[in-house]
Each structure stands twice: as C-alpha cells, then as structure tokens.
Amino acid sequence: MSIKVHHLNYSRSLRVLWLLEELGLEYSIQPWERDKNFRAPAEAAEVHPLGRFPIVEVDGRVLAESGAVLEYFADREGKLKPTDDDGKVECTFFMHYGEGSVMPPLLVKLILTRLRTAPMPFFVKPIARGIADKIDGSYTNSALDLHLGFVEETLGKRPYFAGEEFTIADIQMFYPVEAALLRAKGDYPNMTAWRDRVTSRPAYQRAEARGGTAVPTGAPS
C-alpha cells in the first residue's frame, strides 16, 4: 500500500500522521506551508478540489476530511475502533462532536479576540469591542461553558473518549481539546490529564516530530 500525506503545518493533518504511526503503516509526507496570512496554499486545490488539509493519496485514491480519513484506515486495518456496542456509539458520537459542536464557538472566540486587538482607528475600537462583547455574551461564552463542561465531565468518568481504550475518537478530539486548553478560560483538570496522557504515546511523539504541533499558541484553527 502506497500512502502519501499532504501535510500542512499547524493543521488537522497531524491527526493522519498520528493515526498512521499508531497503525505502524509506512507513509511519505508532501509538506505544505501556510502563507504570511496563515492561509493554506491555493495550489492544494490541484490535488483535491476543496484544497483543504489533510489530503491523503492511497494507491491512487485521493482522500480528504480528517474524520473520514481516520475511519478509512481504522476500518481497513481493523484497529483503533471499539468492538463493544457502547464503545461503538461513543466513538461515532465523538468522531462528529468535536468538529460539529466544539470547534465553532472556539473559532468564533478566536475571531473575536483578533477583532479586539486588530489595528483600527481609535474611534472604531470601542464599537468593535462592543460588538465582540455582545457576541461573547450572547453566544460564545455560554456555548463554550456547555461543551467544555461536557467534555470535562466525560473525561472524569473514563480515561478515553470511547471508553477504557484509546481509539480514533481520541485522535479526532485532540484538536478541539488542545485548542480549548490554549484559548478558553477556566480550569479543566480532566482534559489536561487526558491531553498529557495521549501526547505521551510514542506514536503521537513520532507524528509530532515529523509534522510539528497541531495548534500553535495564537494561531487560527
């Protein structure tokens, strides 16, 4: 099997490197770099029409969307997915929950933080900050409290997202948890302990050594 990972620095494509390391599969990396505005190169659309990372070439087939890629390899290798019914339900839930529910308010929070600190005429700053404060008050803060509270409670009941064993759900949830711990206010000891537990895995450390970190401090998602 020939696997080429198109890897963008500081992106969700680290998930794929991590998974492949966990599975012990050989792969090559085609590195891509963000531009000065932290955008992905437009040329990526020549590999996949969406131009979004990760992009993975497997025996001539082009795969995209990190969750779909994780599912593809886990199913193909028959590993890193629960075999019990409860675990299957939890794994499926968290494969969708992180990007569908947790990341949107985190992204809005990041945008509002940048809005407050962006260069602008002095007479516009109070208006911009007022808009940001209203959005935070009406949506962002309550959404983050809800979702991060749920994640914190979940990880207080079990060591991994789908149960007692590490699965692809943990790889999928790493990005939103890491972003939350970097950007959200509050104390989340269970999330912190989980993050430390999964990043101590040799496969994660090998993936990070090859591809760098997923979420740098202050960088957009």
pLDDT tens across 77-128, in order? 999 999 999 999 999 999 999 999 999 999 898 888 888 888 888 888 898 8
Q: How many CA atoms lie within 13 A of 125 on its CB side?
A: 8
What pairs with residue 65 in β-bridges?
none
Backbone angles phi, psi at 142, to 5 degrees: -70, -35
- Residue 157 — pLDDT band, cuts 50, 70, 90? very high
Distance CA 209, CA 202 (A): 10
Distance CA 106, CA 147 (A): 10
> What domains sit in the chain, N to C, each tagged with a CATH number?
3-77 (3.40.30.10), 85-201 (1.20.1050.10)
CB count within 10 Å of CB 120 equals 11
What pairs with residue 193 in β-bridges?
none
Angle between helices 13-23 and 66-77 (to 10 degrees): 10
DSSP-H helix ranges across 48-167: 66-77, 85-97, 103-117, 125-135, 141-157
Task: Tell me what the pLDDT averaged over the chain comes to.
Answer: 91
pLDDT tens track for 32-81: 988 877 788 889 899 999 999 999 999 989 999 999 999 999 999 999 99
